[in-house]
């Protein structure tokens, strides 16, 4: 089965499904973070995933990638770099709250934001299976491995 990456700009149903999938993926990860009372929770992860999907759908729906994948590649590179700033902000905010000495905190939340962006790109490309499987695996990592670490 081959996946068609490009979209017609008037294919509202396909675009809506891709963006809705991105929201669902972000919600799966964000809900776990919200339950754990992390600063980057449900809304943050949903917006990061949705934003990544929107940035991905733009070149796909505009016809830029029908003949060449370079515009999509540049979009994905920009998302990966840009979301890194969100993650850095999460780490710095967490680290500076309690004391003046250097303390690294918030790495898992930053990584979850980064994964939400990647899964948003997958949803934007129409790879909903990759997005949903990735979201479920992320949920497992955030929950199961936390419990395993506590037992050791």
Residue 3: what pLDDT?
A: 55
Would you say residue 6 lies in a domain?
A: no
pLDDT of 77-135, one tens digit each? Answer: 888 888 888 778 777 765 555 666 666 678 888 888 889 999 999 999 888 899 999 99
Range of the domain at 35: 12-151
The yes-or-no verdict on residue 67 having pLDDT over 70 is no
Residue that has been written with the tokens 């990735």 in this structure: 134
The pLDDT assigned to 39 comes to 78
Q: Give the chain's end-to-end CA distance (angstroms, integer).
A: 44
Grade residue 50 by pLDDT with cuts at 50, 70 and 90.
very high
| Residue 107 falls inside a structural domain | yes
Domain count, the chain: 1
In a domain, 125, yes or no: yes
Tracing tokens 């009372």 back to the chain, one arrives at 37
Mean pLDDT of the region 137-144: 88
Domain membership of residue 58 (yes or no) is: yes
pLDDT tens sequence across 3-43:
555 677 778 899 999 999 999 999 999 999 889 888 788 88
Q: Is 41 inside a domain boundary?
A: yes
pLDDT at residue 121 in the model: 92
Q: What is the pLDDT of residue 1?
A: 47
Structural domain contains residue 4: no
Most confident of 42-56, 59-73, 91-105: 42-56
pLDDT of residue 100: 64
Question: 2 in a domain, yes or no?
Answer: no
The pLDDT score that the predictor gives to residue 20 is 93
Q: Nearest to residue 5, comparing CAs of 69, 79, 60, 77?
A: 60
Q: What is the pLDDT of residue 94?
A: 58
Taken as a whole, the chain contains a residue count of 152
Q: Is the pTM of this model over 0.95?
A: no
Q: What is the DSSP letter of 116?
A: H
Please report whether residue 3 resides in a domain: no
Please list, in sequence order, all residues whose beta carbon lies within 8 angstroms of the beta carbon of residue 105, skipping any fewer than 6 positions away.
91, 94, 95
């Amino acid at each position: 089965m081959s996946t068609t990456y490009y979209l017609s700009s008037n294919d509202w149903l396909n675009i809506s499904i891709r963006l809705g999938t991105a929201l669902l993926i972000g919600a799966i990860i964000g809900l776990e973070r919200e339950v754990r009372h992390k600063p980057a929770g449900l809304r943050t992860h949903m917006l990061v995933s949705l934003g990544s999907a929107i940035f991905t759908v733009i070149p796909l729906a505009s016809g830029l990638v029908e003949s060449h994948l370079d515009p999509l590649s540049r979009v994905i590179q920009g998302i990966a770099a840009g979301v890194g700033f969100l993650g850095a902000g999460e780490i710095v905010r967490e680290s500076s709250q309690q004391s003046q000495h250097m303390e690294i905190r918030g790495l898992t939340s930053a990584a979850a934001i980064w994964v939400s962006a990647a899964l948003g790109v997958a949803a934007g490309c129409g790879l909903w299976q990759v997005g949903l499987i990735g979201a479920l695996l992320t949920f497992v990592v955030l929950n199961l491995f936390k419990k395993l670490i506590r037992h050791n």
